[in-house]
Structure 1
């Protein structure tokens, strides 16, 4: 049997966990999700040796590890399986940094993403505050975000309308104000305005995933480095997953597959060639001085590129992200940036940051993103199983929302969250919504490109 909601809630009142990311105030009254959760668990949940977990989560990236932590804090026992481990270099969540902004105008799911991203900012800040006591590294830096454009466009107008509705702080800046605040940003050609989101920031991605995994294990969870696949089934119920090597199988009541760019490879019969996994190219340039370091300038977005200043304490460099090459098998693809891809980031520096021209490349990063036909997240049951959930297709936008996504997915799995209209946005479908071409090239104004 799958986990029964009433039985779960009955046991939860005896000490099961609520989401202890904190009582973060919602954006506009009420709870972020409809139903209340039990009080936080006083002691970590521990399983007896040999006892099967309630839930197995396959994938220790952004979707998987946040879901596992929240499931555990809601009172169930969880085991996480990952072929390479949390924060590994092959995962979409394994890069050095990710942007956390909420400018999502011009897209159907934009308002939900906007609201969730702003809630996630609060939770990233609280995560760091809680982590100080556990000697965990700081992961969130509130840089602010500056979008530069030649003229006002519907994307920006819609974003501001969303922020007005949500009560989010922002500034619409003219060229004179941009030059006054950040005179090292070139605006002579093609820039007439800047949309500034002061609460936005940047997360040290790999360290964040490692941090969540550490908390999950400290609170009683188990992470195993092993490859998993669908195992035996009875009708619409999956009994177990088979494990690579000589590890046999693992049974559970419920399974969550959060396998990132491996989604199509794991379920080829479901997705076929309808999932795109392009590779994004990230460059970290050596900075000439503190102007290009946090906190002296914001993260930025220009047509076809996003980036941000060098962050402490590692100071990997000034980040420039541009489009990459078409993706291939995420297990075997080369994670390096070819020489022919170095010209575009140099053009960005020359165009917008002239004092960075000629800067040395400290390092490059390349990682897969994962896009489905809808260009929205997938959070739904497997169409053939009642106890198997699919969570992923992050669309280059999910990392920033991890603290909120994990809570939402966990509550969906346990049937605590019940908002049919919201769930409909994330349902399994191989068809693109009306007016959206799943094979179209990414629009730099509407896609984060933010890896």
Structure 2
């Protein structure tokens, strides 16, 4: 493992041009590395990348409180990027953040997680009138049954995800990074020789060799490498509703509204004038039995969502904005990530394939760190990752021994259980002007 910075001329191969692949390419190029190639089956932004989205929630972090915690450290670095890096600052909107729940268990979990009872940054909301008052008249018209939570007016908000992802890609390309996509960039296996990873083989049969290979393939990583059960590919669901120009103006600069048991929304995007709503739930897996008899969740792309997810989205709207609850969806899709057993990232050199650096395990909170995660990966390449982060992000198969694949990992919503796509038989069928349902 390198103890000093390797030559800036040696070849680096990054597998995956999603959020973490583009962030890694950017940070390595900014450090002066001149021979970087990124492989991906899709052009950036990939239609299956979690980062190819109109918005994501971002909460600022500071080292002034709990400076020793991993989450505090990560939030601090991400915040620094969103608020000071000229590449990313245009995409960050500090609009405020409302986080809430509506059952006793949910409220107890929320209060413990966010310390709402003693955090002066949050204003307590406990009535429908108080929730409605956080936004312009005519936005929140629902009854908010049982809803309670906190309102953080500054230091949180949302980011234009697709814009930030494309910006990282374009800047990397400007700095000399080579992106290869399509069949020529579709990696089908790692190239293993003499007990080490020396590159990758793509669908067209080409061999791509490098001195360092970085696996940033997200939920698809287990299809290329035995992850020893450390990754569980998990999917969530989202839907869009078309808004009028007048509605978009009314909904502009709204705080994020997030119920940890129900769902969340942010302001409509300017490009397509669509409001994105996500239903909150522990997640879906696509369970199959592999040739060697192992149970594994295999990602797939689908620009529809299960009918039950549509029902949850509409339930969230009935509670908050009933005037939109019956409106047809203009778009929907499933969105994949990969959970580690403890939801910490997995950024480390493989213990046996020493030229292989792992950059996976976003665990549902990976995009927020696009500004900084590439620096952690570059530090790993150079053998100088902060010891505290190195310990947290290490290769740790011992945490996945007899892993409980049904663990909700602290998430709530919907059935409050993990769901198998194999048991879903009704999906939306999004047409240009409406939404109906159909069988899988």
Measure, in 1, the Cα distance between the counterparts of 2:68 and 2:234: 22
- How far has the Cα of 1:423 moved from its partner? 1.2
Cross-structure match for 1:100: 58
What is the CA-CA distance between 1:210 and the residue it aligns to? 1.8
Query: After the TM superposition, which of the residue ranges 91-100 and 71-80 deviates more from structure 2?
Result: 91-100
Deviation at 1:308, TM superposition (A): 1.7
Output the CA distance in 2 between the equivalents of 1:131 and 1:445.
Answer: 31
Match of 1:231 in 2: 191
- Determine helix, strand or coil for the equivalent of 2:51: helix
Superposition deviation, residue 411 in structure 1: 1.2
- Counterpart of 2:95? 143
Name the SS for the 1:198 alignment partner: coil
Measure, in 1, the Cα distance between the counterparts of 2:116 and 2:392: 21
Asked if 1:337 is matched to 2:297, the reply is no
1:359 paired to 2:318: no
Q: 1:156 aligns with which of 85, 93, 111?
A: 111
1:12-411 to 2 correspondences below 5 Å: 53-77=10-34, 78-101=36-59, 111-127=69-85, 129-130=86-87, 138-150=90-102, 152-160=107-115, 169-175=121-127, 177-182=130-135, 184=140, 186-187=142-143, 189-196=145-152, 198-225=154-181, 226-228=185-187, 229-235=189-195, 237-246=196-205, 248-267=206-225, 269-271=226-228, 275-287=231-243, 289-290=247-248, 293-323=251-281, 325-327=284-286, 332-411=300-379
Q: Deviations over 1:98-152 (max 9, x none)?
A: 222369xxxx99942244235423422444x4479xxxxx533333211123465
Cα distance in 2 for residues equivalent to 1:283 and 1:194: 25
Give the SS at the match of 1:441.
coil
SS at match of 1:156: helix
**TM-aligned CA deviation for residue 350 of structure 1:** 0.7
Change (3 A) 1:433 1:102: farther
Q: Compute the displacement of 1:371 (Å).
A: 1.2
Structure 1: gaps (5+ residues): 12-46, 48-52, 133-137
Distance in 2 (alpha carbons) for counterparts of 1:321 and 1:424 = 33
Relative distance call for 1:70 and 1:161 in structure 2 (3 A) is: farther
Q: 1:202 to 1:63 in 2, by over 3 A?
A: same
Q: SS of the residue aligned with 2:204?
A: coil
1:220 Cα shift? 1.1
* Bigger strand fraction: 2
Instruction: Decide whether aligned partners of structure 1 residues 76 and 114 sit closer, same or farther in structure 2, where only a CA change above 3 A counts.
Output: same
**TM-score in terms of structure 2 length:** 0.76
Give ranges in structure 2 of 5+ residues lacking alignment: 288-296, 419-440
Question: Residues 230 and 188 of structure 1: is their aligned pair in 2 closer, same or farther, counting only changes over 3 Å?
Answer: closer
TM-score (norm 1): 0.75
Partner secondary structure for residue 92 of structure 1: coil
Does the C-alpha gap of structure 1 residues 240 and 277 become closer, same or farther in structure 2, counting only changes over 3 Å? closer
Partners of 1:309 and 1:317 within 8 A in 2: yes
Return the offset for 1:301. 2.8
Secondary structure at the aligned position of 2:338 is classed as coil
Displacement after TM superposition at 1:385 (Å): 1.4
Q: Is the 8 A contact 1:70 1:407 kept in 2?
A: yes
Q: CA deviation at 1:295?
A: 0.8
Shift of 1:264: 1.1
Is structure 2 residue 382 aligned with structure 1 residue 427? no
Deviations 1:182-232 (A, max 9, x none): 362535520233242522222232332222111001011111111233214
Q: Distance in 1 between matches of 2:223 and 2:112?
A: 39
Structure 1 residue 174: Cα displacement:
4.4
Q: How many residues align?
A: 387
Secondary structure class of the residue paired with 1:271: coil
- Inter-partner Cα distance in structure 2 for 1:439 and 1:333: 22
